[in-house]
Structure 1
């Protein structure tokens, strides 16, 4: 009898929709993309022969969207043989878009929405995996009585804002030495000019999908997001791969340096240190601005963890703060900008420029 009941219970569990099961937080970032094309690499200062990363996707050819694909299929994604196709694409109204960044932030928006909407108007803390510092979301209580529809709508907006702030923090953490893959520096990606616009596009598209279907399962969200992504890039004026490649090559020596090899930091020459919630794309013919709303229902907090030595060069006024919030991110980015300008200025002096 016990075995029969167990079998029935397992059967019912398998019949539950995906969103009713424990939702996994996105485990990492998708393996893409430093700005440039036909990028070369080195390991321990030794060039890797016969390696070249095209880094581009074609208009309308993005494959399927797979929730939480950042922890799997690294080789497949880089080689273009995975179900998801990620890379850079140029759009006439959005500039360069990094499809992996769009997907990452969309997934985190979906995850945070499901974790947080029931707690709108209540005190609650959600702890996230560390990235140089401990990351957590702190929800605030209020005296308003919220019904479930109201909670869901406010939860969607909150999730989009927080997912984008997590992307902002990731850019900061990369500059301070974060390594998502052991032994591989991410300095060549920190503050890349297309990153955060792509992240915000992902947050806005996820918000759009969730507002239309707030109870969507993982599978339903992924399918709807595929459609939304394709439609959005058409509206932004996506171009064919050959045109994206032409435009990237035209920026060689300005935005990036084809003579350098990944993961060297100065493969990337142009960086965008603006960390607001309103963005304009770079290199767009008819720029389309993007914006996210601030939510009063919760905030992202960064607390000291086991990697505080990464921040030892910061001024004491920042380093000794017990908590960093989104309002502190610009100060951190401004510090990074100042350091980078000093390095480039010293390099130019040595070269006699």
Structure 2
């Protein structure tokens, strides 16, 4: 039972089973955060006693950033002993921020920046471990000679963009049933309303850090992230945990459902299926927009490097998608929005059916974006 409960915690928190090795590519995602407060859990349809997930942070308790602080920190995080502190923070200007998503994409941006500097213009690729599909970074050959300044600018922006593309794909993979821990689907985390906005913040923070100090080692990057992330939360007017808790509770029955237990998909009622590169917060009074460029000095980034999703061992999970998608040899970012649209349509049908059956609060459909 203890092993099964540990597996349940891992899937709830969105972790990966791979170890953390700071000198290598990011290997997983950090232990955090389904949207909600004091979340309960069940295992095989049976409630897990004495368990609740309080995933709310004070804006001044971010802890210390640690590169690639993925699944190896699950136990420490749960015990409150990890140097990093991850959870949800409400900010006046940016809405809800998931600090784990910020950190994950910042780490990917740092790692990809090193690869971009070596590989831009060449015909080569790098494969990350699969998430239902093989995640391949494909560089495209070019005869264009870049100046040092052009190469630096293109390396920075392409690292941030591709790191964000990886985050976008992660949301899709979760919706289609990705399992970081065998047997436990991650449906409850897919397209959560604060995820991609938080991911983009991480990409932008890391990009600025590397623009200021391109030669940072891992320790230097960790220290720079501490300051940059703290400054960003202050600029977004981060709020105390009590306010974050109150905001989340106010959205019970609109954005999430406290009557459901993780890993039930419908713990989360409101999802964000937008896959653009210009994002506004979902919280209605938050106004701070973010964007990532797709071109640098007239150069289209994804004509130099792109994320490709190649078939792996889970193609049956995508069988219901239209043939126009499934007939392609691999997917790129141009396919993400049509896939997200399909997910949104299917979720809408299921929500309406549950609403009619009395399984969801009556206002969950009409007020999702309130």
Higher alpha-carbon deviation: 287-296 or 167-176: 287-296
Q: Distance in 2 between matches of 1:85 and 1:228?
A: 15
Matches within 5 A, 1:1-353: 23-283=23-283, 285-294=285-294, 295=301, 296-351=303-358
Matched residue, 2:9 = none
Render the CA deviation track for 1:154-212: whole Å, top value 9, x for unaligned: 11110100000000000000000001122332111100000000000000000000000
Q: Distance in 2 between matches of 1:299 and 1:257?
A: 37
Q: 1:150 to 1:192 in 2, by over 3 A?
A: same
Q: Distance in 1 between matches of 2:149 and 2:230?
A: 28
Q: Distance in 1 between matches of 2:355 and 2:257?
A: 15
Q: Return 5+ residue gaps in structure 1 as ranges.
A: 1-20
Aligned to 2:127, the other structure's residue is in SS state strand
1:317 Cα deviation from its structure 2 partner: 1.6
- RMSD between aligned alpha carbons? 1.6
1:50 Cα deviation from its structure 2 partner: 0.8
1:277 Cα deviation from its structure 2 partner: 0.8
Aligned to 2:321, the other structure's residue is in SS state coil
Checking the alignment, whether the CA contact within 8 Å between 1:32 and 1:78 is kept in structure 2 is no
Q: 1:22 to 1:53 in 2, by over 3 A?
A: closer
Q: 1:22 to 1:120 in 2, by over 3 A?
A: farther
Render the CA deviation track for 1:87-110: whole Å, top value 9, x for unaligned: 000000000000000000000001
1:239 Cα deviation from its structure 2 partner: 0.3
Q: Distance in 1 between matches of 2:77 and 2:267?
A: 21
1:151 Cα deviation from its structure 2 partner: 2.3
Aligned residues: 333
1:60 Cα deviation from its structure 2 partner: 1.4
Render the CA deviation track for 1:108-137: whole Å, top value 9, x for unaligned: 001111122122222221111111001111
TM-score by length of 1: 0.91
Larger radius of gyration: 1
Q: Distance in 2 between matches of 1:208 and 1:30?
A: 22
TM-score by length of 2: 0.87
Q: Distance in 1 between matches of 2:183 and 2:134?
A: 21
Q: Distance in 2 between matches of 1:104 and 1:277?
A: 18
Checking the alignment, whether the CA contact within 8 Å between 2:22 and 2:218 is kept in structure 1 is no
Q: Distance in 1 between matches of 2:79 and 2:87?
A: 10
Q: 1:319 to 1:53 in 2, by over 3 A?
A: same
Runs of 4+ in 1 over 6 A off after TM superposition: none
Q: Distance in 1 between matches of 2:93 and 2:48?
A: 36
Aligned to 1:302, the other structure's residue is in SS state strand
